[in-house]
């Protein structure tokens, strides 16, 4: 069965300036969706927007720190003014601090939780009124394998992704009566700046690519019919004590 068409749809992606977020944004644009791009780096956002426009769609770069309530509200106001609706929302913005719990500062803990847990909460809360009620709208939260497991030296990151999984489960229940799907995508090791920071010694050739994760995200976004997929866990082919 063919997937749902994204022609003339509106997809909003956070963390869209690089990595998985950029890959998902470009995949949506290739399928014909206009894209709203949220991230903190203006230069990187502009480059992604230009790439999206090459596919003949509208791209709106919005410099936004998703942990900042006022900035999220401003971004959503601009999205409302531009399109008046959202068909697809992908929460991909995320950061990591990697250290033993005993060496994790309160500031680092709070910063990770602010971006990885508070951020999706703010974005979802402000986006829900704009989501279409046509039975095709969806939210995809990019969590992590650490959203269902725990690894040493990843306490703050793991806690934040467990929080995101909890938010996803509750939001799925709340929005199902309105015909809005909510999914969690939990990849293991992906070749991104975040993983390189966490594991500079790792051979990146054994990691998944952002494009591979984006293809799975697109499967969720374009999923037709009545089957509901709550969560997809994806691991890399080569196992490891981290990110497997």
Q: What is the pLDDT of residue 235?
A: 72
Write out pLDDT tens, residues 45-84: 999 999 999 999 999 999 999 999 999 999 999 999 999 9
Span 104-128, pLDDT tens digits = 999 999 999 999 999 999 999 999 9
Concatenated DSSP letters of 146-159: GGTS--TTBHHHHH
The architecture (CATH level 2) of 10-234 comes to: 3-Layer(aba) Sandwich (3.40)
- Tens of pLDDT, residues 9-48: 999 999 999 999 999 999 999 999 999 999 999 999 999 9
The sheet with strand 59-63 has its strands ordered as 59-63, 34-39, 10-14, 88-91, 138-142, 181-187, 231-234
pLDDT at 1: 40
User: In whole angstroms, what is the distance from residue 17 CA to residue 15 CA?
Assistant: 6
Give mean pLDDT, residues 159-187. Answer: 96
Average pLDDT over residues 204-218: 87
pLDDT given for residue 237 in this prediction: 60
DSSP characters for 83-119? TS-BSEEEE-------B-GGG--HHHHHHHHIIIIIH
Where exactly are the structural domains of the chain? 10-234
From the list 212, 237, 153, 233, the residue with the least C-alpha distance to 19 is: 212
Residue pair 22/48 in contact (Cβ under 8 Å)? The answer is: yes
- Say what angle helices 106-113 and 155-175 make with each other, to 10 degrees: 30
Which residues does 92 contact at the CB level (< 8 Å), separation at least 6?
13, 14, 15, 16, 19, 20, 21, 24, 142
Q: What percent of the chain has pLDDT over 70?
A: 89
Do the beta carbons of residue 145 and residue 207 sit within 8 Å?
no
The pLDDT, as a whole number, for residue 197 is 67
Q: What is the three-state SS of 70-93?
A: HHHHHHHHHHHHHCCCECEEEECC
Higher-confidence residue of 89 and 147: namely: 89
Residues catalogued as catalytic? 157
């Amino acid at each position: 069965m063919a997937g749902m068409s994204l022609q003339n749809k509106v997809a909003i992606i956070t963390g869209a300036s690089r990595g998985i977020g950029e890959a998902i944004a470009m995949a949506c644009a290739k399928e014909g969706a206009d894209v709203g791009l949220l991230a903190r780096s203006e230069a990187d956002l502009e480059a992604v927007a230009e790439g999206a426009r090459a596919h003949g769609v509208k791209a709106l770069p919005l410099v936004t720190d998703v942990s900042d309530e006022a900035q999220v509200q401003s971004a959503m106001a601009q999205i409302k003014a531009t399109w008046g609706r959202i068909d697809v929302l992908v929460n991909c913005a995320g950061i990591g601090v990697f250290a033993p719990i005993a060496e994790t500062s309160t500031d680092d803990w709070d910063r990770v939780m602010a971006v990885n847990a508070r951020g999706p909460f703010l974005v979802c809360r402000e986006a829900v009124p704009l989501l279409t009620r046509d039975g095709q709208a969806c939210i995809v939260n990019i969590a992590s394998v650490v959203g269902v497991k725990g690894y040493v030296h990843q306490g703050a990151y793991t806690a934040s992704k467990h929080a995101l999984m909890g938010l996803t489960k509750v939001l799925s229940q709340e929005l199902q009566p309105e015909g809005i799907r909510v999914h969690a995508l939990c990849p293991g090791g992906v070749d991104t700046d975040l993983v390189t920071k966490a594991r500079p010694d790792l051979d990146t050739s054994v990691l998944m690519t952002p494009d591979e994760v984006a293809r799975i995200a697109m499967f969720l976004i374009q999923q037709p019919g009545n089957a509901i997929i709550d969560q997809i866990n994806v691991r890399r082919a080569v196992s490891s004590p981290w990110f497997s």
